[in-house]
Amino acid sequence: MTTDPKNQVRTARKRNLWKFWAIGGAIAVFGAAAIFFGIGSWLVVEDPLQKAQGIAVLSGRMPTRAMEAAKLYREGLAPEVWLTRSEEPAESLRAMGISFVGEDFYNLRVLVHEGVPAEAIRILSKPIVNTADEMLAIVEELKPGNAVIIVTSKAHTRRVRILWRRQSAARGRAIVRAAADDPFDAQHWWRNTTDALDVVREVLGVLNAWAGLVLHPAKI
């Protein structure tokens, strides 16, 4: 029985097409897995330490960020520690006759407890709502050409670096550092809801920063 050469060609083409899609699918699955498992580690970046004008503590995750800043201060890396300040929810509660002390109040006490003299602690006057605001508040205090050490949480470091470079790098250098006691598990971030939510929030924040902050950054 003679086989039709045209059918042989069609069969060979189909076989090659299936091989192409199988290889392409395998590459896509491998790439997606690499991104999924590696995204936590990618979010964590740190810069080499050097002496700076100040150490800035970003809002959130008390008391680990303030404790890290105190450690850096004790190592003699800067003469001052700066705290950012949010006006909310204090203003809304004040309108209701309810007193409220902000996060800066407690961070200041953590710093003092950890050995930072009160006179070396400054609460920045510019109010902040989100991380982008914090970069602007910090750069206003920075003398041209100087460096500032910015202390935040591990998963937040990548976004902080991107925002600084986009908004404030012309003024001076930011040395981004993560709190050593932050429990974020970069290699196994999907194992608990706290780390997973951090990764989702930070990936969206990074994409927004790359896009030029077309969306207002999430409130801290």
CA–CA separation, 123 and 107 (whole Å)? 10
For residue 145, the model assigns a pLDDT of 93
Q: How far is CA 94 from the centre of its chain?
A: 31
For residue 79, the model assigns a pLDDT of 98
For residue 56, the model assigns a pLDDT of 98
Using H for helix, E for strand and C for coil, what is the string for 54-79? EEEECCCCCCHHHHHHHHHHHCCCCC
For residue 113, the model assigns a pLDDT of 98
CATH class for the region spanning 54-210: alpha beta
Res 172 pLDDT > 70: yes
Mean pLDDT of 115-125: 97
pLDDT tens profile 43-102: 999 999 999 999 999 999 999 999 999 999 999 999 999 999 988 887 888 889 898 888
pLDDT bracket for residue 11 (50, 70, 90): low
Task: Find out whether 128 and 59 touch, Cβ atoms under 8 Å.
Answer: yes
200 against 90, higher pLDDT: 200
List, in order, residues 6 or more apart from 86 with CB less than 8 Å away: 59, 102, 103, 104, 127, 128, 129, 220
Res 187 pLDDT > 90: yes
Please state the pTM of the whole predicted model.
0.86
pLDDT bracket for residue 176 (50, 70, 90): very high
Give domain limits for the chain.
Answer: 54-210
